[in-house]
Amino acid sequence: MRVMKNKKKMLETLVVLMLFVCVSVGFGRAPTEEPANTAEPVLITLTWANHQAYPWNPEWPVTTYIEKTLNINLEAEAIPFQEYDTKLVALMAAGNTPDIMLAAGGDAYAEGYKANLLLPVNDYLDQMPNLSNLLDERGGLSAVLFAAGEMDGNMYRFPCFSSMQADNVSVWVREDVYKEEGLFYPQTAEEMADTLLKLKELFPDSVGFTNFYGANTLINMSYSMFNVPRSPFSRFFVDTSTDKWVCEAATENVKGMVQYWRDLYDAGCLDPEIPSQDNAVAKNKMLHGLSMLFHGWISAIDQFRAAVADENPDYSIIPIGFPPSERYGGYSSAEQPFNVGETPLVMKSTATQGNFPKMLEFMDFLYSDKGIEVANFGIEGESFVWTDDGLAKVIDETCVNPETGGPSADYASKWGTTVWPWKTVYSRKFFYGTSPAVLEFYAREQARTTMRSPKVMMTPEEQEDFSAIHQPLNDYIGTEYVRFVFGQRPMSEWSKFVSECRAKGMDQVTDWLNQYYERQKAMAAK
Amino acid sequence: MKPHYSKPADIAFWAFNTVFLGAVIALALIPILHVISVSLSDVKAVTGLRVSLYPIGFSFKSFMLVLEDFNFFRSLFNSVIYTVSSTAVALLLTTSGAYALSKKRIRLRSLMMKFIIVTMIVHAPLIPSFLLVNKLGMYNTIWAIIIPGSLHTYNLIIMRAFFNDIPDDLEDAAEIDGLSPIGVLVRIVLPTSTAILATITLFYLVDFWNSWFRAFLYLSSRDKQPLTIYLRNILEMYMGGKENIISLIGGIQSKISHETMKAATIVLVSFPIAVTYPFLQKYFVRGVMIGAIKG
Amino acid sequence: MLTLLQKRKPHRSIAVRKEKYYYAMLALPLLWYLLFAYIPITGNVIAFRRFNIGSAYWGTGWVGLKYFKMFFHSPDFLRALRNTFTLSLKYLVVSFPMPIIFAIMVSEVKRDQPKRIIQSIAYLPRFLSVMVAVGLIKLMLSPTSGLVNAIIQKLGFPPITFLNEPGYFHAIYIVSGIWQWMGWNAIIYFAAISRIDPQLYECAELEGAGRFAKMLHITIPSIRYAIAILLILAVGRILTVNFEKIILLYNQLTYETADVIQTYVFRMGIGVTSGGRQYSLATAVGLFNGLLSAFLIVAANMLVKRLTHNETSLF
């Protein structure tokens, strides 16, 4: 008993000691805003959606450079991106928000918008000259509001511009294999099917076309190939000939697209494992010849080649973009000129804070030429220099790609570029290399048109009713596409599928979209 | 006593048992060995999916890379503090609650059990919980980790069931000797319940070590993050619906996303907690109960 | 054998005095429950109200059963409900006995050393996080790189893409769940078995009982209350499937059997134009889940009470 008593006393003291340590270690204070003071750097708090491939690093030279130039102190909270919106919604509900919320997605935005918690950007344009200039370049404020504003005539997101480069994913072919077998690089979707069939003949053990991230990627990639426009409302788009919204499930193009992949699946040229494979398995197939034509990131060129350099020094891949269908036409995969999908939000309440002017200055800086340069390329003189051709050349030897002179994969994570991708100018060319194949790819893509249907404004109540029908329908259509392609449902049932969509509210959604679209056009005409 | 193996039924049983347990061990070990092998292998072999149960191209490089990261150690330190203190709080609440509720003579016992079980079934929604923690001023402090959610009703119920099993005579005898109920708890009941105490302690330790949700929701400073968040920032978990972000960032391969480094981190994170069980195993001996009351 | 002491019933006044101590012991946990469990739980009321972030805590107006109706009328709700039930029921039936069997088998190992080693290894898979476990499962079942299909092909059959077939999903979920959790869930049974008086075994030995008889008549009956309680708790959790695991393992081709309530809600909530209505809706779904589970746990409790003749129950 005595021993027990002593042991218990020890345990008690240990627990108390632990709690004491915890209290002293754990006591933190929430970041407070400090008034603008020319001597001391102003504190600005951010949240950042942390992706595993690209984790936030507080010591990034680019961030430090921006902090020094503007005399601010950026304090970022890195939240895993899958849970990002959840946390933002919770912070908004408690009124405990940071100054700037980067990359805020649909949920957080919708909550803030509904509750009038967000800062209307257009009201502060007079304090943001650089942003105003860029907006003027894109058609002026009214054009931008039509594309990205809300029903109340305000724009709540800080926009992200792009220079209409190509998408940073592509379809790849194995250059070495094609050269050896005397195959041609497909220029159209139909040619791509032919090469796939030929490859299957030559390599019966191969799985055919494969990709990362599942069946959705396959379907999404095919939109541009088969001339099915994209829009902010999945599965619906504006038919340019009639200027009316239609559902894609009712169109011939989509049927052709699904049929195309289904035929390839039946012929054994489409990897049946696409919906369920782990990324590691997919990568293995691409590296070791189980798939000679596949879909992946632009940066794969160097990485893949380095990964198999020992076993297969001839390995080489080149991007062919997304070959358009001859029959249905196709458009470019290039980015849209204007994006407000996952761009920064600021809370209305920050307008009364002491650090607000500095914060606007910071946001505006990133739209200035210097800001764009720093955010996209790095620090001139330290990490890169401008060549006479107007291209950027990496001078940091630890992360340069010897073949292209561009940055290696480690460049962005070391220097902190592409964190603030608010105007991506030539960053794609810079970042993903300037090998002839890549440059050709960009040129080809930019020569074609892009097609994206506009955003349609709705009130929060309308939005709720709309989503209640649209979201399940969207999910259903997506599921059925995959089931058709991967053999779970015969193509003979296609018309049945369309009538199922009708039964699930396809017409109601189309009517709503047309109604609101007309209203939006009428408002803009005034 | 020496085991008899004379009966043929016994031998058959022993054979079956050995096969069964052998299969369990093998199935448990295979994935563990795989993860450990991946962490010790060369990156190229891993990408080629050639690594199965033993390392190919043995190298400690990935472990070195992880251990070079100061963040790893800080997160480790945080995890240890959070886990130990949460467990201490949890044990305090659970033991006192379970013991008191195991006494049949408490009036309203049934009502209170229902009261408690409701909380296990109906979950509090996210935003009210967050608002409460925020209002109490606990946001971004350690208190938000160790107090809300520290009591797992499941464990309380199990402990109560075990306390129920202790014969009343033991405690009556102690009471006659003049001990207060708290004294009975501390001096008689707890020493004889080492098995269940060890079990529940283990459950709490492991649950808190592995928990990430509270840390994710209630902490904002980087230097307070525990290991689970550190791991979550490294392991990719694609749940669908974020294709646009992935295509934006995709392909930027920092050192972190190498498979071997992920495996090394997993090993380093799981190792501390996985070895606590052997330490607690000695408490799984039969309690001091037998012989406490002379037959 | 234990002999019973003469019980001297304490006076009523002493009994009452003693009760005060017990209530005092309960004070702290009860306070915790009130503050950190019940106060947030009252927030569930927003399932019946329109909720706006930034406005009142309780939402702004009653909408009655609107969100519940919205949820029930959504097209694949019934399928999700059906899948949740069948998956968890199958899981319960198949996986509940496994830790018990395992614990009893291990207790039959005579020497201590191998016993400890077996216990320590068997629970290791539990420490693999969901992502890692799913990655391993996908690797194992891959038609091109997986072990299972390698064996199938050696036997002369064509490879099967297991994760594309709705028919296999439940089996994969259950088997991988057992693989990961059996060793860990057996720990509580180890604790229960360790409390059995060895003298009982010795007496049985003297009376000529074999191992099987001993197991049947001593081990199992001695832990029957632990089994009963854990069974009720398991039934109470029946609607809590492992959301992360399912969402990582399923795909469009297996929605038919794999889509459960939580994953369905998750998919319906995200989207470019989700409008954020998911918040009240999610609460409504959670409440619905809770009510169903409450009903089940009460039923299970009543059943166990009857079966054990009122000896043991949860409440």
pLDDT digits (tens, 9 = 90+) for B86-120: 999 999 999 999 988 888 776 778 888 888 888 88
A150 against A105, higher pLDDT: A150
Three-state DSSP class for residue A466 = helix
- Mutate which of A81, A89, A107, A466 to test chain C, going by most C C-beta atoms within 10 A? A107
- Does residue A248 surpass a pLDDT of 90? yes
Of chain B, the end-to-end C-alpha distance in Å amounts to 23
Tell me the average pLDDT across A218-233: 89
Q: In terms of pLDDT, which residue wins out, A350 or C170? A: C170
Check pLDDT > 70 for residue C155. Answer: yes
Q: Given CB atoms, is B161 within the 8 Å cutoff of chain C?
A: yes
Q: At residue C175, does pLDDT exceed 90?
A: yes
Token couple for A115: 């509750």
CA nearest A1 in B: which residue? B187
Q: Do A22 and B85 touch (CB under 8 A)?
A: yes
> pLDDT-based confidence at A404, cuts 50/70/90?
low
Q: What is the structure's pLDDT at C6?
A: 39
At residue A500 the predicted structure's pLDDT band, cuts being 50, 70 and 90, is very high
**Position A317 pLDDT exceeds 80:** yes
Mutate to test the interface with C, among B2, B10, B21, B179 (most CBs of C within 10 A): B21
Question: Which of the residue ranges A114-118, A437-441, A497-501 has the most confident prediction, judged by mean pLDDT?
Answer: A497-501
The mean per-residue pLDDT over the stretch A170-182 comes to: 88
End-to-end CA gap in chain C: 31
With a CB cutoff of 8 Å and minimum separation 6, the contacts of A147 are: A338, A454, A455
Predicted confidence (pLDDT) at residue B179 exceeds the cutoff of 60: yes
Q: How far is B19 from chain A (nearest CA, A)?
A: 32
Stretch 92-151 of chain B: residues touching chain A, C-beta under 8 Å? 126-127, 130-131, 134, 139-143, 145-146
Shortest CA distance from C53: residue in chain B: B127
Which residue in the block uniquely carries the two structure tokens 């004379």?
A: B6
* Alpha-carbon torsion (C122, C230, C227, C32), positive or negative: positive
| C185 vs B50, residue with greater confidence | C185
**Beta strands C61-62; A392-394: pairing state:** unpaired
pLDDT at A10: 57
Burial profile C14-42: b = 16 or more Cβ within 10 angstroms, e = fewer: eeeebbebbeebbeebbebbeebbebbbe
Residue A35: what pLDDT? 45
**Contact check, Cβ <8 Å, A79/B216:** yes
Q: Quickly state the pLDDT bin for A21 (edges 50, 70, 90).
A: very low
Residue C98: pLDDT above 50?
yes
- The radius of gyration of chain C from alpha carbons, rounded to an integer in Å, stands at 25
Give C284 or B80, the one with higher predicted confidence: B80
> Which of these, B159, B16, B41, lies nearest to B94 by C-alpha position?
B159
For chain A, give the mean pLDDT.
82
Split at pLDDT 50, 70, 90, the class of B288 is: very low
| 3-class SS shares of chain A: helix, strand, coil, % to 5 | 50, 15, 35
Comparing A241-255, A303-317, C281-295, the range with the smallest average pLDDT is A303-317
User: In angstroms, rounded to a whole number, what is the distance separating the alpha carbons of residues C189 and A393?
Assistant: 66
Per-residue pLDDT tens over the stretch B2-29? 455 556 777 888 888 889 999 999 989 9
DSSP code for A118: B
Is the pLDDT score of B129 beyond 70?
yes
Instruction: Choose the weakest-confidence range: A138-147, A408-417, B216-225.
Output: A408-417
Which pLDDT value is given to residue A340?
A: 63
Q: What is the pLDDT of residue C289?
A: 87
| Start-to-end CA span in chain A (Å) | 89
Highest mean pLDDT among B248-257, C268-277, C294-303: C294-303
Residue A115 has its nearest CB partner, among C53, C138, C164, at: C53
pLDDT band at B291 (very low <50, low <70, confident <90, very high): very low
Q: In which element (H, E) is residue A140 found?
A: helix A140-148
Return the pLDDT at B240. 56
Question: CB–CB of A521/A248 below 8 Å?
Answer: no
Put simply, whether A7 touches B (Cβ < 8 Å) is: no
Highest mean pLDDT pick, A59-68, A425-434, C90-99, C298-307 = C90-99
pLDDT band for position C16 (cuts 50, 70, 90): low
Taking the C-alpha atoms of residue A336 and residue A451, their distance in angstroms, rounded to an integer, is 8
Across chain B, mean pLDDT equals 81
Confidence of residue B289 (pLDDT cuts 50, 70, 90): very low
More confident residue, B278 or A208: A208
Q: How far apart are CA B18 and CA A160, in angstroms?
A: 64
Q: Best residue in A218, A276, A294, A340 to probe C by mutation, most C CBs within 10 Å?
A: A276
Number of Cβ atoms within 10 Å of the Cβ of A373: 18
Does the distance separating the beta carbons of B162 and C226 come in below 8 Å? yes
Say yes or no: ipTM exceeds 0.90: no
Q: How high is the pLDDT of residue B247?
A: 47
> Which residues in chain B have Cβ-Cβ distances shorter than 8 Å to A342?
244-245, 248
pLDDT band at A215 (very low <50, low <70, confident <90, very high): very high
Q: What is the mean pLDDT of residues C236-245?
A: 86
Could you tell me the pLDDT band of residue A20, with boundaries at 50, 70 and 90? very low
Position C271 scores a pLDDT of: 30
The answer to whether B49 contacts A280, with C-beta atoms less than 8 Å apart, is: yes
Residue of B nearest to A428 (CA): B248
For residue A346, give the DSSP letter.
Answer: E
Distance between B53 CA and the closest CA of chain A, angstroms = 17
Q: Write the single-letter amino acid at A104.
A: A
DSSP run (H or E) holding B8: helix B8-39
Confidence class for position C1, pLDDT limits 50, 70, 90: very low
Query: DSSP secondary-structure letter at B185?
Result: I
* Spatial distance between the Cα atoms of A402 and A461, rounded to a whole number of angstroms: 56
Strand pairing category for A244-247 and C61-62: unpaired
Q: Which residue has the higher pLDDT, C220 or A337?
A: C220
In angstroms, the CA A172 to CA A317 distance is 6
- Work out the average pLDDT over A381-393: 79
Q: What's the rounded mean pLDDT across residues B211-227?
A: 90
- What average pLDDT does the structure give for chain C? 83
Four-residue CA torsion sign, A207, A209, A211, A214: negative
Question: Average pLDDT in the B157-175 region?
Answer: 82
Record: contact C109-B21, CB cut-off 8 A: yes
Name the percent of chain A lying above pLDDT 90: 29
Contact criterion met (CB below 8 Å) for A248 and A254: yes
pLDDT at C96: 95
Grade residue A29 by pLDDT with cuts at 50, 70 and 90: very low
DSSP string, chain C: ---PPPP-PPPHHHHHHHHHHHHHHHHHHHHHIIIIIIHHHGGGGGGGEE--TTS-TT-SEE-TTHHHHHHHHSTTHHHHHHHHHHHHHHHHHHHSHHHHHHHHHHHT--SHHHHHHHHHHHTGGGGS-HHHHHHHHHHHH-TTT-HHHHHHHHTTPPP--GGG-HHHHHHHHHHHHHHHHHHHHHHHHHHHHTTS-HHHHHHHHHTT--HHHHIIIIIHHHTHHHHHHHHHHHHHTTT---HHHHHHH--GGGHHHH--HHHHHHHHH-STT-TTTHHHHHHHHHHHHHHHHHHHHHHHHHHHHHHTTTS----
The pLDDT score that the predictor gives to residue A26 is: 36
pLDDT, position B239: 58
E strands in A261-326: 293-297, 317-321
Provide the pLDDT confidence category of residue C177 given band limits of 50, 70 and 90.
very high
Question: Is the per-residue pLDDT at A36 higher than 50?
Answer: no
DSSP A28-90: ----------SSSPEEEEEEEEEBTTB---TT-HHHHHHHHHHTEEEEEEEEEGGGHHHHHHH
Q: What is the CA radius of gyration of chain B?
A: 25
Query: For strand A392-394 and strand A160-162, is the pairing parallel, antiparallel, or unpaired?
Result: unpaired
Whole-model pTM: value is 0.86
Per-residue confidence (pLDDT) for residue A193, from 0 to 100: 95
